[in-house]
Structure 1
Amino acid sequence: MSSRAHVAVTTATRPTPAGPEGDRGSLRDSIRRRPLTWFFSLAYVLSWAAWTPYVLSENGLGVWNFTFPGAAGSSQLLGVLPGAYLGPIASALLVTGVTEGRTGLRAWRRRMTKFKVSWRWYAVVLVSVPAALILASAALAGRGPELPSATVLAAFLPGLILQMVTTGLAEEPGWREFAMPRMQRRYGPVLATLVVGVLWGCWHLPLFLSDWGGGPDVGVMKPLEFVVSAIALSFVMTWVFNRSGGSMPLVMLLHCGINNYISIAWSDMFPTLSSDATTHALLLTSTAAALVLLLATRGRLGYVPDATTATKPLTEVPSHQLHRL
C-alpha cells in the first residue's frame, strides 16, 4: 500500500473528535450556539405543559373532572408550583450545564447565594415595596389603609420566606440571573429589559384560565394589564440587579415582597377594594418607579459595560463584574 493510500485509509477511519468539532450539528451544539433561544423556549414549553392539567381541571376550564386539593389558594402549590420550577430555573440549569459545564454551575450557585450586600439595600426593598403599594392602593380607594391585624403581622415574615422559596426561587434564577446578563451584553439594558419583561409576563398567561388569575371567565384587560405591569416592574428589577452587583437574593426579595404584601396584607388593609384592584395598584407603582429610574439613569439602569469582560464567557468573569455583563 502506498503512503498516499495509507493516509487516506487512516483519515477515513479516524474517529470523530469529541470536542466542539465533533458536536457540530448536534443538539448540544445548538444549545451552545443559541443559549437564550433554548432557555426561553424550554421555559415556556416545560411550564405550559406542566400547567395544562391545572388549567383543564375544575380549578380552570373544567374539562377534566378533577379538583386540585387545597383551600384558600393552596391548591396552587400542587397545580402551579411544579410548572414554575420546571420552567425558568430548570431551563437555566440545563442550558448552563450544557454551555458552561460544572464550572458554570458553580458560578451560577455563587451568584444565587450572593447575600453579602449592604444592609441598606435590604432595608430599602423591605420598606419601599409595601409602602409604594399602600400609597397606590390608598389612591385607588380614596382613603387611607386600615391597620393590619395581629394575624397579618404574625404571618407577614413567614409568608415572605415561603414566597422566596416558591415564587422567587422558581422564577428569578431564570429570567433575571440567566437571561438578563446575556441580554444586556448583547442589546443593552433597556431593550434587554423590555424583551425579558414581555416574555416573563406572557409566560404567566395560561394561568389566567385558572383560579390563579381569576379565570376561567377572565377578560382581556386583566392579563394585558398584568403583562404591562411585569414589563414596568422588570425595569425596576434590572436596576436593582445591576446596582447590587447581581445579588439574586435581593432581586428575589423585591419580587416576593410584592406577592407577599398582596397575598397577606392587602385585603386586610383595604377591604373595600376588589381583587382586581391589586393589578391596578401594581401597574401604578411599577410604571411610576420605572419612569423615575429610566429618567434618573438616562436609560442606563445601573449598567456599566466593561470592554475587558464583554467578550468573555460568564464563567471567566470575576464575580464583582458580573452585573456589568
Structure 2
Amino acid sequence: MKRHPLVVFFVAAFAFPWLLWGTTLALQVGLIGWHIPESLGFWIGLPLATYGTAALTGGWPAVKDLLLRLIRVKVRPLWYLVAIGLPVGIAAAAVGLGTLSPTPAAVGALIPASAILGALLLNCWEWLITEETAWRGYALPRLQRRFDPLTASLVLGALWALWHLPLFFIADSFQARIPFLGFALSTVATSVLIGWLFNHARGSVLLAALFHGFTDVSIAFSGVLTSGAALFWITVGIQVLLAAAVSVDLHRRDRRSPELPATTI
C-alpha cells in the first residue's frame, strides 16, 4: 500500500462519497425508501478517504503535513488578493458580458446580498476541511512528484470533474441544472487556476479554500452558470482563457516549489 498512496487515495475518495450519493440515486428509482444526505459525501466521505489514506500510507508525518497546510497563513498579501479577487472578477466579467446575451444574469436569485457573508464563511470553511484538503492538500503535491505542476493540475482537474458525476443524476442538485461537459471544462480550468495559486502560495490549503469558496459564492450570487446557456458558456470561456493565461507560468514552476513533503507520503 505504501508504494501507491495516490491510487489508494483516489479509490477511497471516489468510493466513499459515491456510496453515500448512491443511496439518493437508489431512492429516486424506488430501490430503497431512505437515503443518506448528499452533503455527508463531502463532510464525511472525503475527509475519511483523505486522512485515512494519509495515515495508512504515510503515518503521522503525512497527517501532520495536511494539518499544517490548513493553517499556512504566511503567504504574500498579493496571493490573498488573487484568491479573493480573481473569482469575483470572473463572475463580474461574465455578468458584464451577459448583458449582450439573450438572458442576462439573474443576480441575487440564488443567494441574496444579505446572505453573502454567511455563505462565504460556510463555503470557505467547508472546502478548507473537505475538498481542498483532499485535492490540493493531499493529491496535488503527490501528483507534482510525478508530473510538472501544469500537468498535475490538469490530471487532478479531470478526476475532480469526474468525481462529481453522480451529482448530475440527483434531481435537486446544482449539477443537475447544468451540462456535464461545461462543468468539466470549468472544473479543469479552476483546477489549473487553484494549482497556480497553490504553487505561489507555499502550498497553502487555506488559500486554495478561499479561492474555491469565493468562486462558488460568486457564481451563485451572480447566477452566471444558471441564467441560460449563453451566459453559462461565456463564464466557462472566461475561466478557460484565464487558465490558459497562467498555464505557461505554472508549467515552468519547480514541481517541489509548494513545500512538498520530503518523501512521497
TM-score computed with the length of structure 1 as normaliser: 0.70
Aligned match of 2:61 = 103
4+ runs deviating over 4 angstroms? 64-68, 143-149, 276-279
Looking at structure 1, the residues matched to 115 and 142 of structure 2 have their Cα atoms a distance apart, in angstroms, of 37
Per the TM alignment, residue 156 of structure 1 is displaced from its structure 2 partner at its CA by 1.2
Looking at structure 1, the residues matched to 164 and 113 of structure 2 have their Cα atoms a distance apart, in angstroms, of 29
Give 5+ residue unaligned stretches, structure 1: 1-30, 69-77, 316-325
Per the TM alignment, residue 213 of structure 1 is displaced from its structure 2 partner at its CA by 3.8
| Secondary structure class of the residue paired with 1:33 | coil
Contact 2:83–2:197 (CA under 8 A) maintained in structure 1: no
Residue identity opposite 1:126 in structure 2: I
| Secondary structure class of the residue paired with 2:123 | helix
Give 5+ residue unaligned stretches, structure 2: none
Looking at structure 2, the residues matched to 87 and 277 of structure 1 have their Cα atoms a distance apart, in angstroms, of 35
Per the TM alignment, residue 214 of structure 1 is displaced from its structure 2 partner at its CA by 5.5
| Secondary structure class of the residue paired with 1:79 | coil
TM-score computed with the length of structure 2 as normaliser: 0.85
Looking at structure 1, the residues matched to 148 and 243 of structure 2 have their Cα atoms a distance apart, in angstroms, of 16
Q: Are the structure 2 counterparts of residues 229 and 86 from structure 1 closer, same or farther at C-alpha, using a change threshold of 3 Å?
A: same
Aligned match of 1:258 = 215
Aligned match of 1:139 = 97
Looking at structure 1, the residues matched to 231 and 106 of structure 2 have their Cα atoms a distance apart, in angstroms, of 16
Deviations 1:11-65 (A, max 9, x none): xxxxxxxxxxxxxxxxxxxx211100010011111110011122233xxx34257
Q: Are the structure 2 counterparts of residues 188 and 87 from structure 1 closer, same or farther at C-alpha, using a change threshold of 3 Å?
A: farther
Deviations 1:180-201 (A, max 9, x none): 1111111111221121111100
Contact 1:160–1:260 (CA under 8 A) maintained in structure 2: yes
Choose from 206, 212, 231 the match for 2:173. Answer: 212
Q: Are the structure 2 counterparts of residues 280 and 111 from structure 1 closer, same or farther at C-alpha, using a change threshold of 3 Å?
A: same
Q: Are the structure 2 counterparts of residues 98 and 56 from structure 1 closer, same or farther at C-alpha, using a change threshold of 3 Å?
A: same
Contact 1:222–1:279 (CA under 8 A) maintained in structure 2: no
Contact 1:88–1:175 (CA under 8 A) maintained in structure 2: no
Contact 1:43–1:86 (CA under 8 A) maintained in structure 2: no
Task: Say if 2:259 is the partner of 1:299.
Answer: no
Deviations 1:234-261 (A, max 9, x none): 1111100000001111101111111112
> Bigger radius of gyration, 1 or 2?
1
Query: Greater relative contact order (Cα 8 A, min sep 6): structure 1 or 2?
Result: 2
Looking at structure 2, the residues matched to 87 and 122 of structure 1 have their Cα atoms a distance apart, in angstroms, of 29
| Secondary structure class of the residue paired with 2:59 | helix
**Number of residue equivalences:** 260
Aligned match of 2:144 = 184
